[in-house]
């Protein structure tokens, strides 16, 4: 019997979006540069290699996020125990909606989603740097 998927990613994203706060690039940049907020980039490492990264952003692959946030996890990262805001981003802003919602549900606060993700960041001509571990382009 074929699967009958009744709720797609767009609907799930809208449901999550109704429970989180979001920031435009200019607001996120201001918080990040002041140290009040930390941008958490959840893109896959290959995306960072290909597109570059936001200077000073923390890379947390989406698949490890819950494990890195949870202080009881053997994979916990101390960066998620700091007293600051966390601004989640991905390529286009949907994966980071889910990440923001999960982080908030876990108790991390304050948390925000970067509207439009890394694509919006680039479009706004905000700072970008190459990822230092990127393989050489052929």
| Number of domains comprising the chain | 1
The answer as to whether 108 is a domain residue is yes
Cis bond before residue 35 (omega within 30° of 0): no
Return the bridge partners of 113, or none: 22, 88
CA distances in angstroms from 101 to 13, 45, 87, listed in the order given: 9, 22, 11
Domain encompassing residue 78: 25-123
The answer as to whether 87 is a domain residue is yes
The answer as to whether 11 is a domain residue is no
* Tens digit of each residue's pLDDT (9 = 90 or more) over 51-83: 999 999 999 999 999 999 999 999 999 999 999
Write the DSSP assignment of 115-138 as a string of letters.
TTHHHHHHHTT---B--TTPPPP-
The answer as to whether 64 is a domain residue is yes
* Tens digit of each residue's pLDDT (9 = 90 or more) over 16-44: 999 999 999 999 999 999 999 999 999 99
User: Could you tell me the CATH number of the domain that includes residue 100?
Assistant: 3.40.250.10
- Model confidence at 84: pLDDT above 70: yes
The answer as to whether 5 is a domain residue is no
The answer as to whether 100 is a domain residue is yes
DSSP SS3 for 72 = coil
């Amino acid at each position: 019997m074929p699967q009958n998927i009744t709720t797609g990613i767009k609907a799930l994203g809208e449901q999550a979006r109704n429970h989180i706060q979001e920031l435009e690039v200019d607001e996120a940049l201001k918080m990040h540069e002041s140290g009040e907020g930390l941008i958490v980039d959840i893109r896959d490492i290959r995306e960072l290699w290909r597109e570059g990264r936001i200077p000073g952003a923390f890379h947390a692959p989406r698949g490890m996020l819950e494990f890195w946030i949870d202080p009881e996890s053997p994979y916990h990262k101390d960066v998620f125990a700091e007293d600051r805001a966390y601004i989640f981003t991905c390529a286009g802003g949907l994966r980071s909606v889910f990440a923001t919602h999960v982080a908030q549900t876990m108790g991390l606060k304050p948390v925000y989603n970067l509207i439009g993700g890394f694509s919006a960041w680039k479009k706004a001509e905000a700072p970008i740097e190459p990822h230092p571990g990127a393989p050489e382009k052929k």
